[in-house]
Structures are given as structure tokens and as C-alpha cells.
Chains A and B, each alone.
Chain A
Amino acid sequence: MAYGRQGPRIKEKEHALVEGIDLPGHWNRMFETRVITDYDPGTLDEITALPGGESLGWCYQCAKCVGVCPVDIVGDYGPRKIHRDVLRGISLLDDPNLWLCTTCSNCLRVCPKEVDMIQIMPAAREAAINAGKDIPAELQKVFEAADRYGNPMGENPRKRADWVKQAGVPVPIMAQVKRPVDVLWYVGSYPSYHPRGMDAARALARIFHALGVDFAILGVEEKEDGDSIRLAGEKGLFEKLAEANIKTFARYRFTRLVVFGPHELNAFKNEYPKLGGEYAVQHYTQFLVEHLDRLKALMVHPVDRVVTYHDPCYLSRHNGEYEAPRTLLRAIPGLTLVEMPRNRENGYCCGGGGGGMWLDGFSRDHTTMRLSDKRVMEAAETGARTLSICCPYEVSRFEDAVKATGNDGRLDVQDIAELVDRSIGAPERG
């Protein structure tokens, strides 16, 4: 329930019969009683008792979080307000606000009390699931698909590596290589199945090939990393997926794991070690920057366009990488990089993290605009022709948003891998 001002609410009947006397219209007008706030700290205790939920009780209401919360910009949300709601007896477990946080971490960046929504939200969501509360149906569907098929879209797991057929270069599969490799490339669910994700995957395969990288992928053995599923509250399912992936990794020898997506980076770097899976892991932009000199020699075709760059939350704020993607973009001949006003540490979330990827329908009912729409408007305002990305969640979100905001034909969305690939010599797409 939203709080704030309560205007007078009038009750008026056309006719009211009081002790036999007819009182028409405004003669019988009455006002509804205002809602008087009661305080039941039990609902705060319910959250702070959860492992990870403790810091919700530390909020001192400074409101710095609200100023930088991407969801508040398109709605009425914010950690400070959640603390206030919970303090006055509204259970977070029953509140739609439980599912709006994208765990983008911008609130934690500015929070002077270190109220950590990245811990609080998954813990509260898990508690809601365990308590049998109603969870958004679209999210439930994703949990079931990931459990059954090993990817959140419910695609056929046997087709996970079908994208390699159109790569134009050989993409070795680990099970067939039968020797240690330098790079085990964990492709991820979206680049394996989403049409535009596959474009980017093929581009990266061609870049690896051009650089002569000794790499292989897991192919059909690969499963969803599960990090966003964990953040959406299904910790058990995350652990199941992680254990399966850890077991698969254990069968092979490789020097490092290179991932396409920031969510996978976060999973393998920060979460899998807790379950016994420790790897040297890099985001593909970090890996490519290490080969910048050779890459520069290969990038011979100018990409003459003004490009802006969107910092993925899980690459930037969560894992501290701001420069590798920018270094790659600046190295592409002809390309001009312009920044959106909200960039780097204050980058605006695309809405896809923390389960948001699978809650668009739910979010639509509780916000005025999708976060991705807002972000695309910011990108368009820079005058850039291309919005560049390096998180596989973003291409579908931003391409939809380009259409929804009427920027079709004015702005396109390209993975950094696609831009690098084009400069090396791939023909222009479309």
C-alpha cells in the first residue's frame, strides 16, 4: 500500500433514510475515516532475522538511495521506502515491491549505512518462495524451464550449440578436443539461443579465430549459470545448476574461463567459489584488452559512427570493470565514443538483473516505463547512432526499447564483439 497524503474521501448516497426522514444527496454526506498508521516492528524483524537481511534495519532515512534508484525513476520505489513500509507493519514478503529490485547496486554504492539490497532481496525472495507466497507467474515459468532444460527460455538443450554452424569459423567443442585448452569459453544461455545473442556469439568466435586463441566451448554440456535465478530467490535451483556446471568444468583442463556475460562473470568469480568451483575467469572484453596490440593490427576497416556505451551493472558496479569495454571501443578505427550523463559508477540499469529479465510483465503493472526504455531514451539523447553493449541480456531489452520509444532507424544496438568483428572485416549486418 502506498503511503503519503490522504485526501478526504467522500461517501454520499443519492438518498438515505434516517429515522424515517429522507436525506437526499449532500445532506447525507460523510467522510471516510483516515487510515491511522500503526507500527508493527514484527515485519522488520521478519526480514532482519534472515541471513543477509540484517542490514535493512540499519537505514537512517537519508534517501540517497532513492535519488539513484533506477526503479524509482520510473515508479515509486526505493530501499528507504521499503524500510519505512516494513517498519510500519507491511510485510515485504507480500509486497509487490519485493520483485521490482534489479539488484543493480547503485543504492549500495551511495548508502552511508551499507544497507545491502543485494543481500536483502534474494533472502526475502527466498523466504517468500519457501513460505509458499504467490510469486509472479512469469518468473515461476523461468524457474521451471531452467530446472528442466538448463536454460531460462525452455529451449531444447540439445540445440545449445547450434549457433556455431553459421559462425563461418570452426568453434571447437570441449568434449571433442580431448586436450587442455587455453580458453574455455562459457557462452551462456542468451548468446546460445537468442537470435541477436547468437550474432554476437558468432562475432566473438570470429574474433577468437582471427587472434588465434586456443579455445573451446562446452556445447550441449553447458547449462545456465543460475546467478540471476539465485538473485530472484531460487537459491536451491541456483545451487543445482552450479553443481552441474562445476562437475562439467571438472572434467576438462583449461587455463581460464572466458565468459560472454557479466552475470556469468559474477557467478563464476564470486558465487561458484563458495560451492567449491574456483576458476581464473574473465569477461570477454577483459580478455580482448589483453590482446589489444594484435587486435588493433587486425581492425583495419573503419566503423564510422558515433557510439555510446551502456555499463552493465554486473560488469561495472558489481565487478569494478569500467575501462576494458571503453578501451576496445576507442581502439576501433573511425568510431567515436560519447558518454551518456549516467555512466560508469552511476550507470543506469537496463532492468534485466536480479530476475528483472523475466519480470517485464509484472514490472509493467508497477512502473510507468521499462528501465530499458528509459535507458534507450538517454542513449538517443547523446546523438549516438549505436548503443553498444557487452551483456547478452541487453540486446533484446534495448532493441525492443528502441522500437517502443520510436527510435527505430535512428539508433541500433550492437554488442562490442560485433563492432570489433566488423572492423576486422565482417560484412555489415542487415
Chain B
Amino acid sequence: MSSDTLLIIGGGPAGLEAARGAADLGCKTILVERLSRLGGTPISANYAALTHGMRDASEVMGEMIAAVDGDPLVDIRLNTSVTACSGAAGDFSVTLTRGGTDETVSVGAVIVATGFEHFDPGRANQQYGYYMYDDVLTLQDAEKMLKEKNFVRPSTGKPPERVCFIQCVGSRDRRIGNEYCSKVCCGVASKQAIEIRQLLPNCRVFIFYIDMRMYGYWENEIYWPAQEKYKVSYIKGVISEIVMKGDRLMIRGEDTTMNRPMEVPMDIVILSNGMEPSGGTKAIATTLGLRQNTYGFINVAHDTLDPVSTSVPGVFVAGAAAGPKDLDDTMGMAGAATMKAVGAIRRMARGAAIKA
């Protein structure tokens, strides 16, 4: 006997878009979120403005939440985790745990949208001193200050005169074990560089990079204006040493285009830390028996032709649970996963009807 209900795990951008799409198609949906509120990482990690359009993250996520909240077809379960699963496509039996109480639900298909977490720069080999120097930040630390429109040196509480970003921290790095590109950090750093220049017109902003990787709107809306309008300095060559000199950070590296060593004093250094699979992604992969890649992200059937089917029939994936994604990837995947999941449920129902 097949179930006509879709289970969506994760209430971030991917899960919300999938739930909205499923409801629009008239499919009953259970949306499970581990935290006490919807919105995912953009909300829990205090994102300021979202690309494209640089709209306020709470506003954008608020609209996405409003699109499903109150919809009779979407059963939202907060503070809830998926702790067990049996059965097969069309008839999964899934245990939902909330505050120590288990409930078993029957669902026809599952979309996993459990996302990523930010790389912990304490694991880097470059000794950027994230846990040692107050003024060495991650993108998320900077984002929080930008959201509050109060961008200052944590050590002094005063606005910085010089800020730099160091790209590829925890990404494209065999020594750390993350050989992949995290895809969004070039764009996010450039976006933040613009925001810093808007807030503090006298602050100089530098971005030290290996390759700048920005496609589509990132190029025209972010990269070019950052350089042309906001005078952000892009320098090819990644910093590998930060030491204190007086009360400022002294960064060391090489400008590879000039073949020259650099030592530049900075007030704030922002580490463009990449993505890793979230704890929830790794846990759900185990619970559902999904194949993962070397890094712990969920494997998909085909990276270009079928980027949403997993190794288990009836289970699909959307967003950064499958690897580093930006928001437009996530929205596209959510749509594709919904189409496949609802399609699978309907097909099963037809099959069941024929048999009956």
C-alpha cells in the first residue's frame, strides 16, 4: 500500500522551496526541521543581504516561510529529527523524534535538504590564528556585523581602516582533505567587500585569491562593481602567514603577478571559509542509507543529467546537502527534486490503482 505523502527533511531554502512546490502540485507534505524555526542557515548564521538583488536575508526567508506556513497541505514539524527509516519507495516508514517522543509516519518519497556547515578555520594548516587573534574573522562573523550595520574591529570596537579577505580557506585543499571548490566564497567575499565599502567609505578592502570564480549574475552584479565602483583591490596570491605587529595584524604572502613578496598591515582579516556537509546531512545519510562522497556530501545519480536522485530509489536531495551550492543551484535543485518526488508518488499510486 503506497503513501501519498512527501517527507521533506530540512527547513532551509531548499526544503521550503520543495514544500511550496509540492503543495502547489497538490501533494501532502511533512516538513521536518531540527531547530525551533524555519529559514535554515541564512537565518541561523545571521546572513545580512542575499544575492542576487542584495535583499535582506530575513525578509527573503520570511517570504519563503510565509509561502508554506498555514498551507493545509504542509505539515510543519519543528524541533524534530528523523531517527529511523524502513521500507522502500512508495511506502517508507519513518520515525520522527521530538523531545524524546517518537512518532512513525508513512511516506511515499523523501527529499533531503539538510544543507552544509561552514568550515572551521581552526582546522587550517596556515595558522591564520582564528582562535588566537580577535581580529581574524570568518565570513559568518563578518556577515553578522554587516547585518547589524556595525562593522568594527572586535579588539578595539573601532571601525577598521584596512580589511582583507583570504580566499579558499578549507577549500581546494588536499592537505585538509577538501579538494572541492566551495563555489560561493568568491562571491560572498566580494559582496561583503562591497558592503564594507558602503558602510565605511574610507576603509581599504583587499581580496587575496588564487582564482576568482564567479559566474552568471555574480560576475555582473558583484565582481565588476566591487572592482570598478567600490574600488576593492583584488590581488592574486594567497596569504599564508599572519603575525601580530603592534596592535595590528601583519599578513605575509606573494603578489604572484608581480613576483613580489608582500607584508601588509591589516585591521581585520576575514577568512573566506568554505562549506562542509552539516552534521544533519551526515546523520541522515546514515539513517536513510544514502551513498556519500569522500567528503560526506550525498552522492547524486549523475552530476549533470540527474543532480537530485540519490542511491536509494524514492529519496532525493536538494541544496548543499549534495555539495557546495549557491542559492540559485538550491532553488533549481529543489524544483527538480519536487518534480521527481511527487512524480514518483503519483506513479506508485497509479501502479497501486492498476493492481487493485
Contact = CB atoms under 8 A, between A and B. Distances in A.
Interface of A: 3-5, 60-68, 72-73, 76, 78, 80-81, 109-114, 341-342, 345-346
Contacts of B227: none
A346 to B, nearest CB: 5
B36 interface: no
Interface residues of B, number: 25
Q: Is the interface of B mostly helix, strand, loop or mixed?
A: loop
Contacts of B25: none
A63 B127 contact: no
A80 B261 CA distance: 12
Contact of B125 (A3, A67, A109): A109
A63 B174 contact: no
A66 B254 contact: yes
Interface in B48-68: none
B253 A67 contact: yes
A78 B254 contact: yes
Contacts of A111: 175
B253 A112 contact: no
A114 B127 CA distance: 17
Given A110-B125, A112-B175, A346 B241 contact: yes
Which 4 pairs between the two chains have the least Cβ-Cβ distance?
A67-B240, A112-B173, A66-B254, A64-B240
A112 B241 contact: no
Interface string B24-49: 00000000000000000000000000
Contact of A61 (B173, B210, B243, B253): B210
Given A66-B237, A72-B261, 13 more contacts: A4-B258, A62-B238, A63-B236, A65-B240, A67-B241, A67-B254, A80-B256, A111-B175, A112-B172, A112-B174, A112-B176, A341-B244, A346-B127
23 contacts: A3-B259, A4-B258, A60-B172, A60-B210, A61-B210, A61-B256, A62-B168, A62-B237, A63-B238, A65-B240, A66-B237, A67-B237, A67-B239, A67-B240, A68-B241, A73-B261, A78-B254, A80-B254, A80-B256, A81-B259, A112-B173, A112-B175, A114-B175
Given A67-B254, A81-B259, A110 B240 contact: yes
Contacts, number: 75
Contacts of B252: 67-68
B126 interface: yes
Interface in B170-205: 172-176
Interface of B: 125-127, 168, 172-176, 210, 236-241, 243-244, 252-254, 256, 258-259, 261
B254 to A, nearest CB: 4
Contacts of A76: 259
Given A68-B240, A345-B127, A63 B175 contact: no
Contacts of A61: 210, 256
Contact of A64 (B176, B236, B238): B238
A111 B168 CA distance: 12
Contacts of B241: 67-68, 342, 346
A348 to B, nearest CB: 10
Contacts of A80: 254, 256
A412 to B, nearest CB: 25
Nearest to A76: B259
A60 B209 CA distance: 12
A61 B210 CA distance: 7
Contacts of B240: 63-68, 110
A111 B258 CA distance: 20
Contacts of A114: 174-175
A77 to B, nearest CB: 10
